[in-house]
């Protein structure tokens, strides 16, 4: 009797666990419940050195089918009472025509535009992010993320980092070297995240701006998992010069340092606008963004997906899917009209780490794939379209997409 009862007991226990597992809601939504969300994480307004009202900037992105946007003004959050003289606002314009204030009133109506006279000058109040959320946010459709561009430096070298989903501003932490400046600001963000219980994502901005951050800096500051592989500002030296590597090559140098020398996880790359000008001008919006695959449109879900590398950077190329099964990296590109595509699969081989960022294969078509040979430290992909970028930040620019490094986990301690 005991021999009969024991198997029945075990079967009942397994059956109960299976039923319980089936009824419990999934902790992480399965892939078929996730979707791609388009967003920009680097944007400026009149709260710092942008040249339009935050309402107008948000409307620009929402009207062009972005799913989320981070306003990331320099060393400030969009909070508190802030007034600007209308004449100072107008000085930031880069083109003639209707004034910035007139455009603002025409879009939102005079009743929402608060003005006053002070010392004989007309002033306009900048609306806060919390005031703007009810007018723009819609669950599942559009999300605003509070952010700050922590604008720091070491000597004359700029070190800028964007902190997303902040509960309060971060004062630039400074330091005795570029790497220490990065680490100190990243540490401040990590401490704030722990203290608040609110996920915060920090990415390094435009490393070649002012030639501020080197590939070696990027490689050794392991506290930083994210950086801008493409920034739409024309003055960030995306292609490098005779003495400095271009930003995409910096990515490979840094990741080779991390994986070969330090046995540490690689950097993930973002594309952003860094937009400042909304009335014409060189630093205009719409040049670069990220596509994040997440189960929900909220800051926590987006940050969790990005930390898992479940996103890609784009300046125009859109993907239907990205898959890596441990042996093969495969893409499905969302073809448009008569555009053609060429994909470079790029990485570094473990036997030749000095040759960082070589092209393993170049594959034409909409469904490129690369099968690992076994000696790669990692493989990533850059997709380039035949279509010229409609709003280029450098000469000869074409639409592209940058896919995160894969195949590196066995190299990490």
- pLDDT (tens digit per residue) in 358-390: 999 999 999 999 999 999 999 999 999 999 999
Query: Pick the residue with more confidence: 6 or 156?
Result: 156
The per-residue pLDDT for 94 is 65
In 3D, which of 51, 40, 47 has the Cα closest to residue 73? Answer: 47
Query: Pick the residue with more confidence: 20 or 172?
Result: 172
Beta partners for 68?
39, 143
Task: Out of 44-58, 61-75, 330-344, 367-381, pick the least confident.
Answer: 330-344
pTM above 0.85, yes or no: yes
Looking at the predicted structure, is the pLDDT value of residue 52 above 60? yes
The per-residue pLDDT for 338 is 78
User: What mean pLDDT do residues 29-39 have?
Assistant: 78
- pLDDT (tens digit per residue) in 206-224: 999 999 999 999 999 999 9
Give the chain's end-to-end CA distance (angstroms, integer). 52
The per-residue pLDDT for 308 is 98
- In angstroms, rounded to a whole number, what is the distance separating the alpha carbons of residues 274 and 372? 35
Q: From residue 142, how far is each of 105, 131, 280, 285, 312 by CA, in Å? A: 23, 15, 25, 17, 19
**Residue 299 in 3-state DSSP?**
helix
- pLDDT (tens digit per residue) in 289-345: 999 999 999 999 999 999 999 999 999 999 999 999 999 999 999 977 779 999 999
In 3D, which of 256, 261, 216 has the Cα closest to residue 378? Answer: 256
pLDDT mean across residues, the chain: 92
In 3D, which of 46, 66, 67 has the Cα closest to residue 56? Answer: 46
- pLDDT (tens digit per residue) in 138-159: 999 999 999 999 999 999 999 9
In 3D, which of 206, 168, 201, 171 has the Cα closest to residue 185? Answer: 171
- pLDDT (tens digit per residue) in 173-204: 999 999 999 999 999 999 999 999 999 999 99
Parallel, antiparallel or unpaired: strands 35-40 and 68-71: parallel
- pLDDT (tens digit per residue) in 88-110: 999 998 666 789 999 999 999 99
- In angstroms, rounded to a whole number, what is the distance separating the alpha carbons of residues 76 and 170? 8
Q: Token digits for 50?
A: 């942008």
The per-residue pLDDT for 33 is 85
**Structural element, H or E, at residue 411:** none
């Amino acid at each position: 009797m005991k021999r009969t009862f024991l198997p029945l007991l075990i079967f009942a226990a397994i059956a109960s666990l299976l039923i319980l597992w089936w009824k419990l809601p999934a902790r992480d939504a399965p892939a078929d419940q996730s979707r791609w969300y388009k967003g920009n994480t680097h944007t400026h307004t009149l709260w710092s050195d942008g040249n339009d009202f935050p309402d107008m900037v948000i409307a620009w992105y929402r009207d062009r089918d972005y799913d989320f946007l981070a306003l990331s003004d320099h060393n400030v959050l969009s909070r508190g009472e802030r007034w600007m003289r209308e004449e100072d606002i107008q000085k930031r314009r880069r083109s003639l025509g209707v004034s910035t204030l007139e455009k603002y009133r025409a879009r939102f109506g005079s009743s929402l535009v608060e003005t006053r006279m002070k010392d004989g000058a007309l002033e306009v109040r900048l609306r806060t992010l919390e005031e703007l959320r009810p007018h723009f946010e819609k669950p599942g459709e559009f999300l605003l993320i509070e952010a700050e561009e922590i604008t720091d430096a070491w000597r004359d070298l700029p070190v800028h980092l964007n902190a997303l989903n902040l509960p309060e501003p971060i004062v630039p932490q400074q330091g005795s070297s570029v790497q220490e400046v990065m680490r100190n600001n990243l540490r401040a963000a990590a401490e704030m995240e722990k203290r608040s219980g609110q996920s915060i994502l920090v990415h390094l901005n435009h490393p070649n701006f002012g030639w501020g951050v080197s590939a070696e800096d990027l490689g050794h500051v392991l506290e930083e998992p994210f950086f801008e592989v493409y920034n739409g500002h024309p003055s960030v030296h995306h292609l490098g010069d005779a003495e400095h590597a271009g930003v995409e090559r910096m990515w490979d140098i840094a990741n080779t340092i991390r994986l070969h020398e330090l046995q540490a996880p690689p950097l993930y790359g973002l594309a952003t606008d860094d937009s400042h000008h909304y009335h014409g001008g060189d630093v205009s919006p719409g040049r670069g963004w990220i596509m994040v695959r997440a189960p929900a449109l909220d800051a926590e879900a987006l940050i969790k997906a990005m930390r898992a590398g479940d996103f890609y950077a784009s300046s125009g190329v859109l993907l239907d899917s990205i898959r890596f099964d441990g042996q093969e990296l495969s893409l499905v590109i969302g073809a448009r009209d008569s555009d053609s595509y060429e994909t470079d699969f790029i990485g570094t081989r473990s036997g030749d780490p000095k040759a960082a960022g070589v092209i393993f294969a170049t594959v034409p078509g909409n469904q490129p794939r690369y099968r690992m040979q076994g000696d790669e430290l990692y493989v990533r992909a850059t997709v380039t379209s035949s279509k010229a970028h409609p709003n280029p930040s450098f000469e000869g620019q074409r639409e592209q997409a940058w896919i995160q490094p894969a195949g590196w986990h066995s190299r990490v301690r």
